[in-house]
Chains A and B, each alone.
Chain A
Amino acid sequence: MLGFIKKDLLMVKGNLKTLAIIFIVFSIMAMNGNGEFTFIPAFLSVMIMMTTFSYDEYNKTNAFVIALPNGNKNVVKSKYLATLLIAFVSILLTFIISIIAGYIQKNLDIESILSTLLGCFVGIVLIQSILYPFILKYGIEKSRIGIFVGIFGISGILSLLLKSGIHIEISESIISFFNNYGIIILVLVTMTILYISYKISESIYLKKEF
């Protein structure tokens, strides 16, 4: 199992210089008061894992990996575990950037930072939970198109809803959800979705031929 996780992480290592440059540039922008750039580590963590799928597909690594002991059982599991690991690292980086940016801008708000971190974590996990079964079923190229269609589709629907004034109701229901069930439930629900996604992906992978 560990070997398969390492395979994914070592692919990240291969792109480390590029990732470091992107991270540093956007971190500097975030520290100069552009708060939205604190989301960059979360965004990068999704992109990093997508890249690992691309490399696997390009090098036909899936076929090779299945020929290894327990390859077919461990490949999917290792992808999900690597995702969590990279998500945690990105959350940690977001935390560090936010703290530094808060000090520099003299507007440090720990509660707001923690909300941002939770939002990033939930966002990363949910996006990848939806993406992975599609990637494993249809391949990374087709899924990329699906991602764009999905993102623009959801954005379009949301903007329509916002324009129609329903947003107040939605916002209230979300607030009431948070008040009633709390952050722990949100994390648990996210993790449950991740687990369901993993089981679907595993079932797709075990049936798939390369």
Chain B
Amino acid sequence: MIILWGMILCGQSVASPAANQEAEQVALIAKTRPAVVSIFPPGTNAGGSGVLIAPDGETLTNYHVVGNQIALRCGLENGEVYDAVVVGMDPVGDLALIRLLGRENFPSLPLGNSRRARVGQRVYAMGNPLSAATNLVPSVSTGIISGLERYQAPTAGFLEYTDAIQTDAPINPGNSGGPLIDTEGKILGINGRISLEKRGRVNVGVAYAISAQQISNFLYPLRAGRIVPHADLGATVRTADDGRVLVDSINDKMEPYHRGLRVDDELIFFADRMMSTSNQLLNMLGTLPAGWDVPLTFRRDGTARTIRVRLTAKSRSIPTLNESSSRLPAAVQAVYQARPEWANDHFQKLWRNRLWARLVTSPAMKWESQTRLGRETSRAEIRVDGDSITWKLEETQETWPRGTRAPLEHDDDRVLAVVADLCQATSAMANPAVDYLGTFPNVRDQMNHVLVQSYGELSVRWYLDMDREELTSIEVGAEGRWERMTVSWSMNEPGTLRPALWNWESTTGKSAQWDVLNAEASP
């Protein structure tokens, strides 16, 4: 019967002889291998691997390959050696983004969709294991995906592999940072860790790759020149004997507590996954940079409740880059700028300047709004004019926009007072510094570029959509108050920015949204 099942499934495969399949495999490797990089960090005789992901030289590798180096030497299959500069790093997740210099037409591979990866699927690992490629032509090994959603605990706070792809394709020292490629030639992950025991530091058929999903979450924060902090929930969980995932401890100085999560609550859903083991939470958490907003569903006394929390930064030790910049090659010096606690300020400035210019010079952004917060007279005003942004809340009243069904009941006064307070404080910010953080989900869960201005405890986040790089929402928050106000715009009417959604998240875990467009449309 199983043989019959084989017949049905394989009716088409039978028609293609094994020789064809082998030819396809050879063609796939010929197509993908030019994008595989051999990396030689200076001052060591160790080597690692990487993979080009953009024609301008952007290359993914492991943090443990780059270490604290600013400049690297990189070789490609064509035998050429290029200078490279560090762009961003993620020491906890063992990722680094570097940039090969000297060409604008590097061969590159696209990131695949690791969520569609399946156990049993054929994969190829490429790189420079044991520094065998003296002619810079990368080695290829193949195997299957042995497991998914693997968790491998960190060593001293570094190199935590979460939601990782496990493969039996042979991976040896030197393969680190190289790609795990699927049969379509897309990057499923970055190989970086192997299980080992008695046999020493060689392949034992168990290797782990950082998933393309995790990489895409960190990609823009890395592009921003950051040393990207990982997300922390501010709570730990345990798996109970009956298999439920329960909150074991919670930090009362962090957001989940202030949104209502308590010890012994059962965690049901986090980010985009059902929670069935405590590893699942570590898995999801590890794939997210700090500052990410996630939905979290928990159950207490039989009642489930969903809150939205912003994940804070895991405490960490920040690596110091090897600042012997006098010895940096000229090509690297031109694209490197030091900044404490950042990987490379040069790339930060490129992004920040471009996006900020988009924000303040676009005609659509020279915008002044009078949004009615209250029924009659309350008006919020946000004005972007040149380099200055002003927020103002005129007059307040106890009434709320039509269409609002008493969202906060007795909290109304207080909420309004906080809004006024935030607006006033923001206006007092004297052109504070702006940083580009990368892409994060906005209040509607769309991925947006985020610019942030910080002024003491107060921060303003500017969200720009990724395609048109236009403002979609502004958020004001005060650290330690667990309150944020967001105003976002409907993008259906290009050029006209009508406030479409006011969003309020309060300390009590209550949140309210006022759909301004609809409220105003109703009689």
Q: Do A and B bind each other?
A: no
Q: Show the binding face of A for B, using Cβ within 8 Å.
A: none
